C-alpha cells in the first residue's frame, strides 16, 4: 500500500511519544494536510481567474441571490460573515474589475443594491465549474460507499467541533475555503 506524508509523521510521533494515541494524528493530520493542499489548488485557480478569496465569496453569494443575482451590501456581509467595511473593500475591487455594479434601490432610496454584471456572471460560472471539475477529479477516485462513509465521518467531526447549520455557528465561513 502506498504511504502518505502523514504515515511518515505518525512513525516519528509513535517513536517520540509512545504513550500517546496516534489516532488523532492519523485522522486530523490528514484532514489538515488535505485542506492545505486543496487551499493551494484553490488559490492557484483563483489566480487563473484574477480574483482573491474574498472576491470569490462575494461573487458566489451574489450568484446564489436569485432570481437576479442582486442583494444589499448588508446582506452580503451576513452571507459572507465579514464586516461591512470588508464587503465595501471587496465591492470596490469587484466594481473596478467590472464584475459587479451598485445602484440605489428604487423602493427604498436609502438602500444600495449590488448586482453581478454579465462579466461577473461569466466569471463566477466559469470559476464554479472549474472548481467543481477539479474537486471531482479527486472525489471520483472514491467508491460510492467510500464517499458516503467519508461524508458521514466528516459531518460527525464538524458537529463535534460546533460547526452546525445553526445561524449562530461561527464556522459557516471558514477562512481559506471556497464557498459554493
pLDDT in tens, 81-133: 999 999 999 999 999 999 999 999 988 888 999 999 999 999 999 999 999 99
Residue 27 placed within a domain = no
Q: What CATH code is carried by the domain that includes residue 151? A: 1.10.10.10
Cell of 177: 475555503
Query: pLDDT tens, 32-70?
Result: 999 999 999 999 999 999 999 999 999 999 999 999 999
Residue 23 placed within a domain = no
Residue 9 placed within a domain = no
- The domain of 147 spans 38-180
What are the strands of the beta sheet with 70-71, ordered from one edge?
70-71, 112-116, 100-104
Residue 155 placed within a domain = yes
Long-range CB contacts (within 8 A, 24+) of 134-140: 134/41, 134/45, 135/38
- Number of structural domains (the chain) is 1
Residue 64 placed within a domain = yes
Residue 111 placed within a domain = yes
Residue 149 placed within a domain = yes
pTM of the predicted model as reported, rounded to 2 decimal places: 0.81
Residue 24 placed within a domain = no
The pLDDT, as a whole number, for residue 167 is 56
Amino acid at each position: 500500500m502506498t504511504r502518505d506524508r502523514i504515515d511518515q509523521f505518525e512513525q516519528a510521533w509513535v517513536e517520540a511519544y509512545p504513550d500517546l494515541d496516534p489516532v488523532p494524528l492519523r485522522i486530523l493530520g490528514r484532514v489538515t494536510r488535505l485542506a492545505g493542499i486543496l487551499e493551494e489548488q484553490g488559490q492557484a485557480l483563483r489566480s487563473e481567474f484574477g480574483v482573491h478569496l474574498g472576491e470569490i465569496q462575494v461573487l458566489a453569494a451574489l450568484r446564489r441571490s436569485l432570481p437576479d443575482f442582486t442583494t444589499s451590501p448588508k446582506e452580503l456581509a451576513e452571507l459572507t460573515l465579514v464586516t461591512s467595511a470588508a464587503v465595501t473593500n471587496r465591492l470596490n475591487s469587484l466594481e473596478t474589475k467590472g464584475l459587479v455594479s451598485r445602484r440605489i434601490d428604487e423602493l427604498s432610496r436609502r438602500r444600495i443594491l449590488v448586482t453581478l454584471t454579465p462579466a461577473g456572471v461569466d466569471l463566477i460560472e466559469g470559476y464554479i465549474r472549474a472548481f467543481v471539475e477539479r474537486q471531482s477529479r479527486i472525489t471520483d477516485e472514491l467508491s460510492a460507499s467510500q464517499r458516503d462513509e467519508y461524508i458521514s465521518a466528516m459531518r460527525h467531526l464538524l458537529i463535534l467541533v460546533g460547526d452546525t447549520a445553526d445561524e449562530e455557528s461561527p464556522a459557516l465561513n471558514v477562512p481559506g475555503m471556497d464557498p459554493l
